Structure 1
Amino acid sequence: MTHDLRRKTADILALKALTIEMADPAIAWGWAMVDGERYSDGIWALTALTPPYHWSEMVDLVGQIVREQGLAEPRNQDEATRWLAFGHVEDIVAAGGEDFTSLKLVSRLWFDHETEDLRIFYDLKHAIREVEANGVQGHVAGLTRENWKARLVEICSDWLAAHDRPDPFGED
């Protein structure tokens, strides 16, 4: 199992649970499942779709694939936001704090869904913007213009350590 397939699967199942548009990523996920030799009728039907895509059709096919493949799904909205956030937080750490786009996406998850343990990312986004613009900020203790990347990586690493990696295939 590749890390990429696990992440794509977790992301699609989280998007489905949160009712966020997923047509293009779902098609790409279907092909990743084929590449990973995880075949099923639903996978073949998904990869055969052509635009325009319809939400209900996507949801039905992803649900069919979940059943056929025996995949675990997020149990609730908070877990779905954490599943979606997990990969972005990993991206921030991998980039040494340079991935502000991923930080904005996780911040937006908190803003849209108010999953409490994602609040820190909303605060970090604002703190970094303020400290870069003004040299000071009041959102995250100890974060300065000189150390914000290191603090961002530290906070992200702590968050990852405190949360289970999404495991839709049940292989951990």
Structure 2
Amino acid sequence: MQDIINKAFETLKKGGLILYPTDTVWGIGCDASNSHAVEKIYKLKQRAESKALICLVANDVMLKTYIKNVPEVAYSYFNNNEKPTTIIYNNPQHLASNLIANDNTLAIRIPNHDFCLQLLNKFNGAIVSTSANISGEPTPNSFKEISSDILKGVDYVVNLPDKKTATKPSSIIKLHDDGSVQIIRK
């Protein structure tokens, strides 16, 4: 697996796009701080830039690089939630401006997936993770359902088995500054 991680790492460092398994669905990823790479994802997915993307980070320490004030309630989601949960945070920093939503928020998840965690730690930074489909089309449930347009549009396809990937997207919640939690997607 180290060779695969190295190839994915090199692709990300060069501003390329990767297709990779996550703890939820197969994702298209790039360096979350590279606005040109983020733009390539929007173009490949044929997605409006007004529709925000999700990022992955390896742990709460890495999260604090991008979110200055992590609400205390977020830690209970990291430690106690069995279902993959993406959290929308206010006031992200040090990331590509075209990745941040118009309301100055960003959705971030800490994955429970060996490959993702190893890649994130080697990359030492946030990686975009958006479902491997054209915008508006169904999310593929397995690698074999990923369209040829997506496969041709990325710079590196991670060659790992499907079975370690869940078949549905994460839950999404938004944490407000007052400590309240809003469920966006169950």
Which one has more relative contact order, counting CA pairs under 8 Å at least 6 apart? 2
Q: Which has the higher helix share?
A: 1
TM-score of the superposed pair, with normalisation by structure 1? 0.24
Q: Which has the higher strand share?
A: 2
TM-score of the superposed pair, with normalisation by structure 2? 0.22
